[in-house]
Amino acid sequence: MSDTDSGDGTEIEEISGPDVEAIEFYGGRWMSVVPIGVFILWAIVQSGLFGIGDTTGLVAGMLVALIVGMFFAKGDWKNYANTIFDGMTKRVAATAVVAWLWAGMFSNTLQAGGFVGGLVWAANAADVGGALFPVATFILAALFTTGIGTGYGATVAFSALFFPAGILLGANPVLLFGAILSGAVFGDNLAPVSDTTIVSAVTQDADIGGVVASRFKYAVIAAVLSLAAYVFAGNAMGGLNISQQAQNLFVQNSEPAGLLHLVSMLVVIVTAVMGRHIVEAVSWGLIVAVVFNVVFDLAPLSRVLLFKVPKTSAAASWAGSLPIAEVVAAKNAGVTGSIYNGAAGFFPLIVLVLLIVAGSEIMIRGGGFEAIQEWLLENVATGVRKAETTMVVGTALVNSMITINTAAEIAIAPYIARIGQRYNINSYRRANILDANTSALGYIFPWGGGVLIGFATLQRLPQQYGWFTDAMVVQPVQVWPYVFHGWFLFGVFLLSALTGFGLEYTTDRKSKDVTRL
């Protein structure tokens, strides 16, 4: 990603940087696709065939892929190795890493403050029955994900709390799981702090605030259709016959005070749309969330940050009196809390993405990227409508193959940028095509990361509730037709590409500096 001109007449010579050395491959430029190709194959086998949604496993796959690719490089391998360094230090990757770390801290702090409990309380207060429970779940999951930015986190939280409650109220389990995943799709697509939103904006040289505002129209159309579909299906599809424990379960998990974090969410969303820097916007939201947790007794400071000081430490005698420290056995020493866990949760994904960007850089310098692009432009994307359709279907296909949707998004992002720029399609439009189809397809197919994480959560429910049997767990292969928002969002973009709805050109309006939200 290049820097943008600040208006002072910066010339191309000053911003292009030093010349990069091309890599030659045995078998021609197509062989530079080997690292990314081997990784995609690994991802399909690991997630699609074996059903393992382990991000660190994909890191191992990408490392192996980079080593395999080296054997096809001609001459001194030093050039190949240096390209890995150059790829990993690209600004596009660093920007996403910073954003994920901040978003992770924020979302974990909201969860520590009982935000989901507040949503459950609201559903209870509104007296939502079994038929309407899926549509209510969709709305609340969408709201929650839009606030915290992580569809995976929302899927876990809602599968653990809303799913059993909905089953007890008589909601259809498959439909309910589909509604949770649909909410995750909505939020992943729209949230300013969502990892996929951030990647879509930074890879297409667009500001995040503008991207969020411009994709609102597509998201709302798909959401209205989804709402209608969940209301209809909720009434048409019956639930399971379970004993009357619903009210108890609701009361057990309901904490209306958690709804105060709607303010924390709004702080981030409003600050983002106002165009403030990502670090600033999320930091303000985080500060408000921590203050609310402590002041309104939603969670103690130790849930936000806690030093587990070993008894053997010289500070053990006084550290225990601090609100953010406790003295523990030496083997349990460490640091924990929402700030720690929120950031740490992204570490495997960060490493994976840095390595994928390195693999992409090898493909660019080896000519593979250019070869694929030339083929697409000459044979498929031969007009602006066909180019947009190629972008929509291409993004959907890659996301249906790679489990972690953010990783898939980064892999396809350069193609979206190049094909879109070929026809001067506006950066907002490109970012929207990229993100909507990434968000949608990542939660539909049985091997999708969101589906697997939700399924893993449902599998733990029989141990938590005596009445919950293994037969009530929804299998990943059952849910794909019911992720309505995912399907409608994909459909809206396919129709938009074919008809020109929402299409904007670079000449229509400019994006703000990409380092702003």
Residues in contact with another protein by CB under 8 A are 1-5, 9-12, 15-16, 203-205, 209-210, 213-214, 216-217, 273-274, 360, 364, 369, 383-385, 413-414, 417-418, 421-424, 428-429, 499-510
CB of 298 to another protein, least distance (A): 30
CB of 11 to another protein, least distance (A): 6
Which helix (H) or strand (E) covers residue 327, if one does?
A: strand 325-328
Contacts of 368 (CB under 8 A, 6+ apart): 29, 30, 31, 32, 33
Closest CB to another protein among residues 308, 422: 422
Distances (CA, A) of 208 to 79, 203, 204, 346, 512: 35, 11, 10, 20, 9
Closest CB to another protein among residues 21, 374: 374
CB 401 within 8 A of CB 359: no
CB of 505 to another protein, least distance (A): 5
Buried b (16+ CB within 10 A) or exposed e, 334-369: eebbbbbbbbebbbbbbbbbbbbbbbbbbbbbbbbb
CB of 200 to another protein, least distance (A): 12
Return the DSSP state at 505: B
CB of 344 to another protein, least distance (A): 30
Which helix (H) or strand (E) covers residue 326, if one does?
A: strand 325-328
Return the DSSP state at 73: B
Closest CB to another protein among residues 124, 189: 189
CB of 13 to another protein, least distance (A): 9
CB 40 within 8 A of CB 89: no
Closest CB to another protein among residues 36, 179: 36
Closest CB to another protein among residues 423, 465: 423
325-328: strand order across its sheet: 325-328, 306-310, 334-336
Closest CB to another protein among residues 7, 466: 7
CB of 58 to another protein, least distance (A): 22
Give residue 509's region: left, alpha or beta (phi > 0; psi -120 to 50).
beta
Q: What span, in angstroms and rounded, lies between the C-alpha atoms of 388 and 392?
A: 6
Buried b (16+ CB within 10 A) or exposed e, 373-407: beebbeeebeebebbbbbbbbbbbebbbbbbbbbb
Closest CB to another protein among residues 24, 504: 504
Closest CB to another protein among residues 148, 364: 364
CB of 42 to another protein, least distance (A): 23
Q: What span, in angstroms and rounded, lies between the C-alpha atoms of 314 and 329?
A: 14
Give residue 17's region: left, alpha or beta (phi > 0; psi -120 to 50).
left
Closest CB to another protein among residues 11, 127: 11
CB of 203 to another protein, least distance (A): 6
